[in-house]
Amino acid sequence: MAAFNKFNCFVQDVANALHDMKTGTVQVYKVYLTNAPPAATNTVYNVPADLSAGNGYAAGGVSIGTIAGSQTSGTFRFFGATNPAWTAAGGSIGPFQYAVLYNSTSPTRPLIGWWDYGTGLVLTNGNTFTVALDQINGVLTIT
């Protein structure tokens, strides 16, 4: 599994109440794919640039589904119910190396973090790529 990296802005965005990560929230969190290297200083969706739509890939990414947040002994864990996935149809998707998590409900669409898969990937026709969310420890942990 690729390691999760957070964007620097996420810490400030939590303090500014841009994210509502508690269980039952109506906010939608999505993951999109990019081949442009993320920088910790990026702040909003499409920087780094989303892939172009087509061949089974929709711009804006895929929702992580119903979210849940839980706190135990001062550690908060954020969970998504659905592993985002794309299936190439009618051609290839990519190349891409990174999957980026962001809040698609907030008007500024702030970034949260990204996974680096280490090399450019091309999803060929009929094949599926899935971002495996950590259902044990959460997508991210705040301590």
| pLDDT tens-digit series, residues 59-78 | 999 999 988 888 889 988 88
Q: What is the model's pLDDT at position 100?
A: 98
Among candidate residues 95, 105, 108, the one with its CA nearest the CA of residue 52: 95
Mean pLDDT of 32-59: 97
Which residues contact residue 80 at a Cβ distance below 8 angstroms, ignoring those fewer than 6 apart? 29, 64, 65, 66, 67, 133, 139
User: What is the count of structural domains for the chain?
Assistant: 1
Single pTM value for the model? 0.94
Range of the domain at 20: 4-142
Tell how strand 62-63 and strand 67-72 pair up: unpaired
